[in-house]
Amino acid sequence: MKNILIALSLLFCSSVVLADSETILPENLQSLDTANISLGSVNAKVVDVESGVTLFAKNPETVAPIASISKLMTAMVVLDAELPLDEMVTITEEDVDTWKNTYSRMRIGAVLPRSELLLLALMSSENRAALALGRSYPGGMSAFVNAMNDKARALNMRDSRFVEPSGLSMENVSTASDLVRMVSAASRYKLIRDYTTTPSHLIKLGETENEMEYRNTNLLVRQGEWGIRLSKTGFINEAGRCLVMLADVGERPVAIVLLDSYGRRTPIGDANRIKQWMVTGKSAPVAGAALKYEQEKNSGVFQTAAMDDDTQS
């Protein structure tokens, strides 16, 4: 019975809009008690952007795979290079995923402007789009990866490393603390803010093909009930479910990093628990399956396996 109640509270937390119309003052932040919030994500960090104060942290310096959160770095490198966004890029065999053999609706031979590849990589986590962005960079993929790591060093992301632009490789690693820095940096790019908060986009991949709808991978963006300024999700088996956001809570911009959680709903539930805690001082409990996953990962006994489906992005 207890597990049923906890599961229901997770569902409630992932779908109900929490009232946050009142402004949260700095003194309210100082009174927040971390004993009154529990998250299912194994690694997490929540920072009040204006003050720089860390409101909550759990294993913030643990180095872990970050999956498609990597695409925020990919986007910054592309935009820093000032490559023409209207230049047409052809999807080739080189853009096929050889790490996870993931499915893509983007066929070989499709030709899209660089801007649309950037949108699909950020909004719907399209892996072929991200790989094409890296491949079409001046100097090719190796130069692009070097630029990713140079950018990480410039942002003082000391525990981060990138080996490719999509996040499909488990060797793309970072920490919750480093990702707060990356989220803050990425939020300075208007195009990244706009693209990561686009709910959906229709695209035509060829002259004779029908339009296809690509949707944002973050349910909270699609629902439109949060004041989200920037968002990115990620998932591979080795990384678990991941979510980073810059969002307004009580009229305050907050950076939220959630890494390695069980099931598609856990990061969404954790984000809503953070919002509820900031507004009311308390949060809903975490579902039993998510808690068990966290305990097993922290103890080192968890065996990597698919956690909802085999879609990795």
| pLDDT tens for the 313 residues of the chain, in order | 444 444 444 444 444 444 444 677 666 787 899 999 999 999 999 999 999 999 999 999 999 999 999 999 999 999 999 999 999 999 999 999 999 989 899 999 999 999 999 999 999 999 999 999 999 999 999 999 999 999 999 999 999 999 999 999 999 999 999 999 999 999 999 999 999 999 999 998 766 677 899 999 999 999 999 999 999 999 999 999 999 999 999 889 999 999 999 989 999 999 999 999 999 999 999 999 998 998 888 887 655 444 444 455 6
From the candidates 41, 70, 124, 125, which is the catalytic residue? Answer: 125
Q: Which residue of the set 58, 71, 100, 297 is catalytic?
A: 71
Helix (H, G, I), strand (E, B) or coil at 224: coil
Span 254-310, pLDDT tens digits: 999 999 999 899 999 999 999 999 999 999 999 999 989 988 888 876 554 444 444
CA separation for the pair 107, 96 (Å, rounded): 9
Show the tokens assigned to 199: 């709910």
Per annotation, catalytic residue among 68, 166, 231, 313: 68
Residue keyed to tokens 């090719």: 140
**Which two tokens mark 282?**
């308390």
| Rg of the chain taking only CA atoms, in angstroms | 19
Which is it for strands 43-48 and 53-58: parallel, antiparallel or unpaired? antiparallel
Runs of H (alpha helix) within 187-241: 190-196, 219-223
CB 270, CB 161: distance < 8 Å: no
SS3 290: helix
Task: With beta carbons less than 8 A apart as the criterion, state whether 144 and 134 touch.
Answer: yes
Residue tagged 């856990």 (tokens) = 266
* Residue 299 falls in the annotated catalytic set: no
Residue 174 is among the residues annotated as catalytic for this protein: no
The pTM (predicted TM-score) of the whole model is 0.89
* Alpha-carbon gap, residue 289 to 300, rounded angstroms: 16
Active-site residue flag, 71: yes
